[in-house]
A and B are shown apart, each in its own frame.
Chain A
Amino acid sequence: MRVTFTVNGRRETADDVWEGESLLYVLRERVGLPGSKNACEQGECGSCTVYLDGTPVCACLVAAGQAEGREVRTVEGLADGDRLDPVQEAFVECGAVQCGFCTPGLVVQAHDLIERVAQPSDAEIREALAGNLCRCTGYEKILDAVRLAAARKAAAS
């Protein structure tokens, strides 16, 4: 089948998509956007988190056909060219990135959190990121990064 949707503001068409393919597979293997990661492919780890019409979803749980005509924003669509989004910048600065495989999903999820809640409490951060597994960091530096990104964003607005 053919699937047409918007990714990071660009209209993309994928041909010869097998009906069983996920949005994650189409992004990674057909559209050339492998930033969203394939760590569990069953919605447990959050590493494939993308925005679908503005709502964070696990791209592995969305059938490719469900994306037809919709708007997808991936981790590759957060930075403005070389200028990182404050969440991305804070993740690098705070040491929230080690192997980095969970990072794209966490960055999108944290981006969504501070869009919704300007100054989240630690409990709110933990709750919002509870669906994103990280095996390297023990999460302390991730909390630091989200706190810093939220503070910077609040200061800038």
Chain B
Amino acid sequence: MTLTGSRGAAPVRAPREIAAPGTGGVGDSPLRPDGTLKVKGEFAYSSDLWIDGMLWGATLRSPHPRAKIVSIDVSEALAHPGVATVLTHEDVPGRRHFGLDHTWDQPVLAFDEVRHQGEPIALVAADHPETARRAMEKIRIEYEVLEPLTDARRAAFDPTYPQVQPRGNLARHQPVRVGDVEAAKARAEVVVSGEYRVGIQDQAFLGPESGLAVPAEDGGVDLYVATQWMHNDLKQIAPCLGLPEEKIRMTLSGVGGAFGGREDLSMQIHAAMLALRTGRPVKIVYNRYESFFGHVHRHPAEMRYEYGATRDGKILYAEVEILLDGGAYTSATMNVVGNAASLGVGPYEIPNIKIDAYGVYTNNPPCGAMRGFGAVQACFAYESMMDKLAAACGLDPVTVRQVNAASQGSELATGQVVWAPLPMAEMLQQARELPMPPPLDPADLRNLPGGASQTTHGEGVRRGVGYGVGLKNICFSEGFDDYSTARVRLEVIGGEATVLVHTAAAEVGQGLVTLEAQIARTELGVDRVVIHPADNQVGDAGSSSASRQSYMTGGAVMTACQAVREGVFALAAARLGRTYDDLSLAGGKVVSESAGVLATIEDVLGDAVVEETREYHHEPTTGMDPVTGRGDSHTQLALCVHRAVVDVDVELGLVKVVELAAVQDVGKILNRLSLEGQIHGGTAQGLGLAVMEEIVVADGKVRNPSFTDYLIPTILDMPPMRLEILENADPRAPYGLRGAGEPPTLSSTPAIVAAIRDATGLALTRVPVRPEHIAGGS
């Protein structure tokens, strides 16, 4: 294919085509195409790139969450030996702001004011990372430090609170109104209420932000980056660099995990600016400390819920307020608020609903996309409410959920009707009936809460069981024209029919490249599939977010393959001199249902190349009404049920999660091995939020930006898992599939907290649950 413009030199270890091993189609579990490279240490991550003569870029960031910038003096830094250039906001070639959605409110480099700790102010390019660090220390910035605005509630509701940024302090308020809540209050026999909080969670992907920018002869730049959505990056990068999009060639390099944290730009524009200024390749690699400031996090939430019900547990009304703190810039806050609102009461049938979801600006750490995206926060609250309601009605937690469970044909809070199977009551039953793990052998102290620290011999240890259900929208919602593009090429190479699949979709670890090969094999009956590196020389694939790539890029590869198949049939007809209307491709052959095998695909193709590019769009959605929240805002919904079993040392407040069982409906199992990995991994991140993970903030400053102080689950923290995977097809989706990566992240958190409540009898209204919340009896 043709590249526009003229590229710069290629780096050592540039991403290249990878042949997919094995023979498996849709439903099999062939090996990952990139697996062997990864276990050998040969897979080229964006931090592994190297090119002759490259410089190292570094980013000077604000130590203050809110301050006026009085002056910036880079002269001393520029004079430091080994420094190639130092850049500030004055050097931004084009637009000074970028942004993930339509609100371009984030400065490429801060000017006039900094609005969060870690906001980028200046860039250095030097011959060694240490040179760059030392030069940064010589940049003189005079600040007028201001009191940070950190009170999300005042930001939302107090008009006298100072503004964080010119847009005002309220990013979005999305109401949902159903029925008549006030009238329903009069009929309620049981009323329960609660206030819940969710702390800031970090994606904590293992591969920090990094990439390489290579200046090109045409005045453009080649960018090798780790991102979730190349084309959306490009839309922001090009105007800020003052370049047309075709002069920026982007190639996806190895991505060390994402989980939402790579939706926003990090080092892309910065590295390109340094490369264009110096005329030399520039590599930027954040370390872990910088990574905590280099991407947005999961929104912290304050949530107030009140449910009224009949004595037998049927919910009559829900009154809900969800307050999400987005930090200084918009990022994904608009859509996170939309999700929190539309999924605010989860998969339950409730006739009268009043939800108000708010997203605000503050000088706290910036927040945006993370796996679960607004649905996680609400899920912790509504599932906690279900347990509270169960207790108030004298019902068990499973029954109260079954009494109110949505099912196919139900209306959700937005009025959207569940059109696909949603066997929630049955899934809960299945979770309940799974065998319970036996008591752990206390003779091996590693089995007890506290583990090898030997903090107990079993005294004070109580077991608890809890359930959680989570409903997640799959693909982009609220009227967004969501699509993906795939180019598929079939030709004979070395005597063997070979499929080349080319998309811009980001493989971030989830296994999309495996699935692309499976789909090609199923649709084209050819074993040999090669995956082209993802780049912007093919159309937009959308983001590796919202559990959408199996659906969207899977759908695009499927339809492109089907178009290629038609091309092969046409060649077959020309070669055989007659047409058939019952052809298929299987086992490397063109097969007629009536006449049997007609020819090998190689014979039919000869020297011909059949190449087709297709876009795949999902069923359109609508926006949410700004007053009532009504609308068919989601294209697919997916459900996961968790049962958690915990042992809690009630004296020390230590929790050992003993087992996690998940029942999830995925529509169709495309690749069991990858799918199980998604459910396991999603569950683990939910466990992290339940009992470990929080970015601790004081006065707008992060207190724990390291893996020493921000703890994510280790292999000792994760218990054995039991999975029950259902296949109730969604008839609208490719192969009937349902996106699977996010739902388990929703439901595992409330299940674990419910189990801790069961063990301790405590209310536990915030996550993560810390030892002092248990031992202190909160």
Within 8 A of A (CB), among B709-741: 712-716, 718, 720-721
B444 touches A123 (CB 8 A): yes
Most chain B Cβ neighbours within 10 Å, of A18, A37, A133, A139: A139
- Give Cα distance in the complex from A93 to B721, angstroms: 19
- Complex interface: chain B residues within 8 A of A29 (CB): 50
> What total of chain A residues lie within 8 Å of the partner, measured CB to CB?
60
Task: From known contacts A18-B128, A95-B673, infer whether A133 and B31 are also in contact, taking CB-CB under 8 Å.
Answer: no
Complex Cα distance, B42 from A33, in Å, reads: 9
A10: interface (CB < 8 Å): no
**Which residues in chain A, 106-157, are within 8 Å of chain B measured between CB atoms?**
107, 123, 125-127, 129-143
Complex partner residue of B681 from A47, A74, A98, CB under 8 angstroms? A98
Max chain B Cβ within 10 angstroms of own Cβ: one of A76, A98, A133, A143: A98
**Do the beta carbons of A37 and B444 come within 8 Å of each other?**
no
Flag if B206 contacts A91 (CB, 8 Å): no
CA distance A88 to B38 in the complex (A): 9
Question: B336 to chain A: closest CB distance in Å?
Answer: 21
A84 contacts chain B at the CB level, 8 A cutoff:
yes
**B48, A28: Cβ atoms under 8 Å?**
yes
CB distance from A128 to the nearest CB of B (A): 9
Contact, CB under 8 Å: A44 / B681: no
| B35 closest partner in A (C-beta) | A92
CA distance A136 to B255 in the complex (A): 12
Contacting pair B206 A102 (CB below 8 A): yes
Determine which residue in A36, A40, A101, A141 has the highest number of CB atoms from chain B within 10 A of its CB, and name it.
Answer: A101
Are B446 and A140 within 8 A (Cβ)? Answer: no
Contacts of A95 in B (CB 8 A): 29, 673-674, 676-677
CB atoms of A139 and B715 under 8 A apart:
yes
Q: What distance in Å separates the Cβ of B143 from its nearest Cβ neighbour in chain A? A: 28
Interchain CB contact under 8 A, B257 and A135: yes
- Restricting to B57-97, which residues have a CB under 8 Å from any CB of A? none
B452/A127 in contact, CB under 8 A:
yes
B207 to A39, Cβ gap below 8 A? yes
Please name the residue on chain A nearest to B508 by beta carbon: A99
Interface string of A33-57 (1 = CB under 8 A from B): 1111111111011010000000000
* Partner among B256, B258, B684 whose Cβ is within 8 Å of the Cβ of A39: B256
| B706 at interface, CB cutoff 8 A | yes
- Taking CB atoms and an 8 Å cut-off, the chain B residues in 2-56 that contact chain A are 12-13, 29, 31-32, 34-36, 38-45, 47-48, 50
Chain B residues lying within 8 Å of A34, measured Cβ to Cβ, are: 13, 41, 44-45, 47-48, 50
Which residue of chain A is the closest to B13 with respect to CB atoms? A34
Give complex CA distance A33, B41 in Å.
8
Q: Evaluate contact between A38 and B41: CB separation under 8 angstroms.
A: no
Identify the closest chain B residue to A21 (Cβ). B130
Complex contacts, A35 vs chain B, CB 8 Å: 40-42
| Nearest-neighbor residue (CB-CB) of B708 within chain A | A44
Q: Which residues of B contact A91 (CB under 8 A)?
A: 35, 39
**Pair B288/A39 contact, Cβ less than 8 Å:** yes
**CB within 8 Å for A143 and B130 given contacts A44-B706, A97-B38, A135-B259:** no
Contact B208 A39, beta carbon cutoff 8 Å: yes
Interface size on B, residues (CB 8 A): 65
Count chain B CB atoms within 10 A of each CB in A35, A88, A132 and give the residue with the most. Answer: A35
CA distance A101 to B683 in the complex (A): 19
B707 touches which of A32, A40, A76, A93 (Cβ 8 Å)? A40
- Chain B residues within 8 Å of A28, by CB: 48
A contact residues around B204 at 8 Å (CB) = 135
| Distance A95 CA – B716 CA, assembled complex (angstroms) | 19
Q: List residues of chain B with CB within 8 A of the CB of A75.
A: 39-41
- What chain A residues lie within 8 Å of B12 (beta carbons)? 32
**CB pair B712 A101 closer than 8 Å:** no
Q: Report if A47-B42 is in contact (Cβ < 8 Å); known contacts: A40-B288, A41-B288, A123-B446.
A: no
The reply to whether the CB of A20 lies closer than 8 angstroms to some CB of chain B is yes
Taking a contact as CB atoms under 8 Å apart, the answer to whether A92 and B36 are in contact is yes
Query: Would you call B677 and A99 a contact (CB within 8 A)?
Result: no
- The answer to whether A140 touches B720, judged by C-beta atoms less than 8 angstroms apart, is yes
The chain B residue with its CB closest to the CB of A145 is: B39
Q: Which residues of A contact B681 (CB under 8 A)?
A: 98, 135-138
Q: How far is the CA of A44 from the CA of B292 in the complex (A)?
A: 15
Cβ–Cβ contact B34 & A100, under 8 A: yes
Nearest A residue (CB) for B206: A101
Task: Choose among B43, B676, B677, B707 the residue that contacts A136 (Cβ–Cβ < 8 A).
Answer: B677
Q: A42-B707, A129-B715, A133-B714 are in contact. Are A37 and B39 (CB under 8 A)?
A: no
* B45 contacts A101, C-beta separation under 8 Å: yes
Q: Which residues of A contact B42 (CB under 8 A)?
A: 35, 76
Is B511 in contact with A93, judged by CB distance below 8 angstroms?
no
A79 at the interface (CB under 8 A from B): yes
How far apart are the CA atoms of A104 and B654 in the complex, in Å? 32
- Min distance, Cβ B699 to any Cβ of chain A, angstroms: 25
Which residues does chain A contribute within 8 Å of B444, judged by CB atoms?
123
Partner of A74 from B32, B41, B48, B207 at Cβ < 8 Å:
B41
CA distance A126 to B444 in the complex (A): 14
B676 touches A101 (CB 8 A): no
CB pair A133 B43 closer than 8 Å:
no
- One digit per residue, 1 when the CB lies within 8 angstroms of any chain A CB and 0 when it does not, for chain B 646-690 equals 000000000000000000000000000110110011111100000
Q: A35-B41, A44-B708, A143-B715 are in contact. Are A138 and B205 (CB under 8 A)?
A: no
Residues in A whose Cβ lies below 8 Å from that of B258? 99
Q: Is B623 an interface residue (CB 8 A)?
A: no
Set of chain A residues within 8 Å of B677, measured between Cβ atoms:
95, 98, 136-138, 140-141
The reply on B509 being an interface residue by CB < 8 A is yes
Given the contacts A28-B48, A74-B41, A127 and B446 also touching, CB distance less than 8 Å: yes
Interface CB pairs A-B, < 8 A, 6? A34-B13, A38-B208, A39-B206, A95-B673, A125-B715, A141-B673
Q: Which residues of A contact B (CB under 8 A)?
A: 18, 20-21, 28-29, 32-42, 44-45, 47, 74-76, 78-79, 84, 88-89, 91-95, 97-104, 107, 123, 125-127, 129-143
Which residues of B does A touch, CB under 8 Å? 12-13, 29, 31-32, 34-36, 38-45, 47-48, 50, 128, 130, 203-208, 254-259, 285, 287-288, 444, 446-447, 452, 508-511, 673-674, 676-677, 680-685, 706-708, 712-716, 718, 720-721
A sample of 6 more A-B contacts (CB under 8 A), given A79-B40, A94-B673, A136-B509, is: A34-B50, A39-B288, A125-B715, A130-B716, A139-B718, A140-B676
